[in-house]
Structure 1
Amino acid sequence: MKMMMMISNNNNALLLIKLLTLHSLLVLAASQDFDFFYFVQQWPGSYCDTKQSCCYPSTGKPASDFGIHGLWPNRNDGSYPSNCDSTNPFDVSKISDLTSHMQSEWPTLSCPSNNGLAFWGHEWDKHGTCSESVLNQHDYFATTLSLKNQIDLLQALKSAGVQPNGQKYTLSSIKSAIQGASGFTPWIECNNDTSGNSQLYQIYLCVDSSASRFIQCPVFPKGSCGSSIEFPKF
């Protein structure tokens, strides 16, 4: 009887090991299922002046600067993975040393006012978990903050005479300014203000699959802006 119990326990242990190994392989396979990242920044003025409007975070009105939206794994065919690992949810304690920096560089504008945790949690759960083959949770946010520091989008636009003053600028001048500063062609996403005017909303640049350097985008998202778009105040 004792021998049979030992065999049973060994079989259970082996089964558990196999299940854990299978789970790890599935998570790894899912997290590696991408070719590059979109690094996306948004202009707060264009988020706030829509019909949806916005709410400032509990820490106060963000600076008049582009804020991070996210770092999104994507594939060369235009598709993307999402929500890759439900066993590793967002844990703010893992980024406690980054929180103050994130509040300034990665602010939330959704209503009602909040401290940003829901926004950051969404970005990690949907996108970050799909990058676990190269970035753990802390590195995902730290790397994204570092990418923002490498290229000053607002300064690049201002240096080219493109100011957030409510005036209209050509789409080509906006792209040229960013390409001149970064060395890479950006993709520009527009939205509409309450009057229906097309405006500069988000700027996409691409990063290689190791999240270590900017690259030319293998593919751009769908959609387009007009030839002349507004750059609203904030």
Structure 2
Amino acid sequence: MKSKTFTFPFISLLLLLFVVLSVARSYDFFYFVQQWPGSHCDTRRGCCYPTTGINPEANFTIHGLWPNYDNGKYPHDCDYKNRYDATKIKDLLPKMQTKWPTLECPSADGSKLWAHEWNRYGTCSESILDQHSYFRAGLDLQNKANILSILEDANIRPNGELYSTKHITEVIKEALGVLPSIECNRDASRNPQLFQIYLCVDKLGKDFIDCPFYKKRKCSPEIEFPKF
């Protein structure tokens, strides 16, 4: 009879422990991804400036802050009830329009991009970062990793010239203390160009860390750094 008396509380405790562990292991780190707008625009598809009339700054802009697991997989669309709400980040919108803009066609004001990022990725971090904290973290991380400034200090400039992919990687690593991953795309003439920089961030969204793994991304030994 005693064993039956404690069965329900014991099972409840196990379920609670499972839930706590599940939340704690909801993801292991973030990919923080910045893109060079000049490479986004210099493709066969081209780009469109935002309808707000506020152009992206001539710097690497934020693409996303994406939670990942150490095994190479990632969570997504974690909470269909907690959808993007612009009123929760009203104070951040002026900076997001220049630092986290959309260049997709047809032109838009950015809300579709931000809704996608929160609904698909941000909701998977809400046990630690609510919507405001999530977007604030992206803006803060960009301030910590001013990629254009880092590259220009090493005489790597967006002038249409070719640069060593290895050298770009080494310069960023020396400045930030962590190894980045470089992603390329191709311009209208099919030449490879510097497109996106991936950095890994701890699950609090604050500090850059060494990536648990390095996903291979297609890039040539020498790549163009186009103007913007």
TM over 0.5: yes
Report 1:144-155 matches (<5 A).
144-155=138-149
Aligned mates of 1:46, 1:30 — CA distance in 2: 38
The equivalent position to 2:214 in structure 1, one of 189, 199, 220, is 220
Instruction: Find out whether 1:98 has 2:98 as its counterpart.
Output: no
How far does residue 61 in structure 1 lie from its aligned partner after superposition? 2.7
Higher alpha-carbon Rg? 1
Q: Does 1:38 align with 2:34?
A: no
Name the SS of the counterpart of 1:144 in structure 2: helix
Q: Secondary structure at the match of 1:71?
A: strand
1:220 Cα deviation from its structure 2 partner: 2.1
CA offsets 1:27-53 (integer angstroms, 9 cap, x no match):
x94784211000000000111111111
Aligned pair count reads 212
> Which runs of no fewer than 5 residues in structure 2 stay unpaired?
1-14
Map Cα deviations across residues 166-194 of structure 1 (whole Å, 9 max, x no partner): 00000111111111211111000000111
Choose from 20, 44, 54 the match for 1:51. 44
User: 2: CA distance between counterparts of 1:220 and 1:95?
Assistant: 32
Matching residue of 2:10: none
In 2 relative to 1, CA 160–113 (structure 1 residues): closer, same or farther, beyond 3 Å?
Answer: same
Give the counterpart letter for 1:211 in structure 2.
G
Contact 1:38/1:204 (8 A) holds in 2: yes
TM value normalised by structure 1: 0.86
Q: Contact 2:50 / 2:108 at 8 angstroms: preserved in 1?
A: yes
Deviation at 1:62, TM superposition (A): 1.6
TM-score with structure 2 setting the length: 0.88
CA–CA separation in structure 1 for the residues paired with 2:24 and 2:30 = 12
Does the CA-based 8 Å contact 2:54-2:97 persist in structure 1? Answer: no
Deviation at 1:210? 1.8
